[in-house]
């Protein structure tokens, strides 16, 4: 009998632990995945609310209205066409064409499904129509419009600007855009995709930030080594080249190799590191992570765990091969360099207020994770400073400010018949203007040209407008 009671107590304790574990898992999942559940096509409660509740307003960081509901029940968007188009994928639409847009991803909030009891009671007692909550975003409408107008004509791509101290998303403009006022028009399917969050691109030489961090933390005395670049070097069954073998950097140190974006040097560093060490660093930077940010739906960046040859490893260290990354993730990485190695969680919602005007929640900054040690971040920051001051990113310079960055030219064809994607990632080293940026221009050519030039202009606009 005593043995039976002992076993019963043990089973009871295990059941209690199980229930606590399941409850904790459910609470965590609801917190991190709630918006994803809410926008599911299987959510009948959401579909019902759409027909009985007036959707709340969406505004920018200064209160400028980006979306609201007219008295006749129709959804209205900014009358400034440039602003309306620039924020189209960010704000989204009521038909869910832009799946990551606020009006889809945060539809539950805008329809009052997560509203307070006070708001719902007040509406019931007063006889007012049921209204959802209002969302104020962190983005700046004027900066978004300026980015759209500055984006090179005829190209697609994305621009992300964040505050690397707070994590606020100040702008994310995806080209081509679409008009939520004219969903029945001739719109390319790709216009509904927010390339800032969903665009998975080969990073090109911007990935050398990750390779550099791995080298600094895994190879002793790497900063004092001298490397030899003759324009090309064989790795296994293939050859890695610098600018198709036309650039010969000669004997070069690590800092200058980064500043001049020497492929041969960084391919050799990747070979010395090995795939396991490079993978560990990449994953510490967020590659292969299933991002569960509360405000945005960010697609995963990919570092393949099955690198099968020395040749592939060499090109991976340079930023080519089967690597994929989103512009938002690269802006987070650049911001972490500026923020002493700590990456902040991207925040899009600045404030939520109820139908009565009462503020229900305000943005709270939170770290995503530490990507690198502060000493490693300091060295990379110095290299990125030099890359803009006297290297491949010189077109991003702004008079009176220190801009740090890294360019990238991501090859998208084996025979080089298609222009590479043009990349620039970086930040302003400033306490008053702590802005990080990622720019990708599809088939825009070398990152030292279009992407760098656009980044400099956008960062200057951010200084002036925010």
What are the boundaries of each domain within the chain?
204-348+364-465
Tokens of residue 357, six digits: 């005007």
Per the CB < 8 A criterion, the answer to whether 99 and 297 are in contact is yes
Q: 282, 269, 284, 267: which is closest to 219 by C-alpha?
A: 269
Distance of CA 75 to the CA centre of its chain: 28
Q: Write down the architecture of domain 204-348+364-465 according to CATH.
A: 3-Layer(aba) Sandwich (3.40)
Q: In what order do the strands lie in the sheet with 169-175?
A: 169-175, 157-163, 435-441, 421-428, 403-410
In sequence order, what are the residues at sequence separation of 6 or more whose Cβ sits closer than 8 angstroms to the Cβ of residue 117?
Answer: none
Q: Is pLDDT above 90 for 308?
A: no
Q: Is pLDDT above 70 for 254?
A: yes
Rg (CA), the chain: 25
Q: Is pLDDT above 50 for 337?
A: yes
What's the pTM? 0.89
Q: Is pLDDT above 80 for 128?
A: no
CA distance 358 to 119: 9
In sequence order, what are the residues at sequence separation of 6 or more whose Cβ sits closer than 8 angstroms to the Cβ of residue 438?
Answer: 158, 159, 160, 327, 328, 330, 331, 334, 423, 424, 425
* pLDDT top residue among 154 and 8: 154
Per the CB < 8 A criterion, the answer to whether 215 and 432 are in contact is no
- Express each pLDDT in 339-379 by its tens digit: 999 999 999 999 999 988 899 999 999 999 999 999 999 99
CA distance 215 to 269: 7
CA distance 387 to 379: 13
- Express each pLDDT in 386-439 by its tens digit: 999 999 999 999 999 999 999 999 998 877 789 999 999 999 999 999 999 999
- How high is the pLDDT of residue 422? 97
- How high is the pLDDT of residue 15? 57
Give the SS3 label for residue 440.
strand
Backbone conformation region of residue 241, classed left if phi is above 0, alpha if psi is from -120 to 50, else beta:
beta
CA distance 354 to 174: 30
In sequence order, what are the residues at sequence separation of 6 or more whose Cβ sits closer than 8 angstroms to the Cβ of residue 408?
Answer: 203, 204, 205, 206, 207, 319, 421, 422, 423, 424, 425, 447, 451
Per the CB < 8 A criterion, the answer to whether 192 and 376 are in contact is no
Q: What confidence category does residue 249 fall into, taking pLDDT thresholds of 50, 70 and 90?
A: very high
Give the SS3 label for residue 173.
strand
């Amino acid at each position: 009998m005593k043995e039976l009671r002992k076993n019963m107590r043990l089973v009871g304790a295990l059941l209690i632990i199980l229930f606590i574990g399941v409850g904790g898992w459910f609470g965590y999942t609801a917190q991190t995945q709630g918006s994803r559940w809410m926008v599911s096509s299987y959510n009948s409660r959401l579909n019902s609310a759409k027909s009985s509740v007036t959707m709340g307003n969406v505004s920018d960081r200064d209160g400028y209205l980006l979306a609201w509901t007219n008295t006749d029940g129709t959804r209205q968007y900014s009358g400034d066409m440039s602003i309306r188009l620039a924020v189209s994928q960010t704000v989204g639409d009521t038909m869910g064409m832009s799946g990551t847009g606020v009006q889809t991803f945060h539809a539950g909030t805008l329809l009052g499904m997560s509203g307070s009891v006070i708001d719902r009671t007040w509406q019931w007692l007063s006889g007012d129509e049921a209204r959802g909550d209002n969302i104020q975003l962190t983005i700046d409408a004027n900066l978004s419009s300026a980015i759209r107008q500055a984006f090179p004509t005829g190209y697609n791509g994305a621009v992300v600007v964040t505050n690397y101290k707070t994590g606020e998303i100040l702008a994310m403009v995806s080209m081509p855009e679409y008009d939520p006022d004219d969903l029945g028009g001739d719109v390319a399917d790709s216009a509904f995709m927010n390339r800032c969050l969903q665009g998975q691109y080969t990073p090109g030489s911007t990935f050398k930030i990750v390779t550099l961090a791995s080298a600094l933390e895994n190879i002793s005395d790497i900063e004092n080594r001298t490397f030899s670049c003759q324009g090309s070097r064989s790795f296994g069954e293939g050859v890695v080249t610098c600018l198709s073998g036309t650039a010969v950097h000669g004997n070069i140190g690590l800092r200058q190799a980064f500043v001049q974006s020497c492929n041969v040097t960084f391919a050799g560093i990747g070979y010395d590191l090995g795939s396991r060490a490079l993978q560990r660093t990449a994953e510490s930077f967020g590659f292969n992570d299933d991002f569960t940010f509360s405000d945005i739906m960010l697609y995963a960046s990919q570092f393949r765990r099955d690198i099968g040859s020395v040749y592939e490893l060499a090109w991976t260290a340079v930023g080519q091969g089967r690597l994929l990354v989103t512009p938002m993730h690269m802006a987070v990485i650049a911001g972490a360099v500026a923020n002493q190695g700590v990456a902040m969680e991207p925040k899009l919602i600045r404030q939520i207020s109820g139908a009565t005007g009462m503020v229900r929640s305000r943005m709270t900054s939170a770290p995503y994770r530490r990507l690198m040690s502060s000493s490693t971040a300091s060295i990379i920051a110095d290299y990125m400073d030099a890359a803009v001051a006297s290297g491949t990113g010189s077109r991003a310079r702004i008079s009176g400010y220190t801009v740090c960055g890294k360019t990238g030219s991501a090859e998208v064809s084996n025979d080089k018949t298609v222009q590479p994607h043009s990349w620039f990632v970086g930040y302003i080293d400033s306490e008053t203007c702590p802005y990080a940026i990622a720019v990708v221009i599809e088939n825009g050519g070398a990152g030292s040209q279009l992407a760098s030039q656009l980044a400099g202009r956008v960062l200057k606009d951010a200084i002036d407008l925010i």
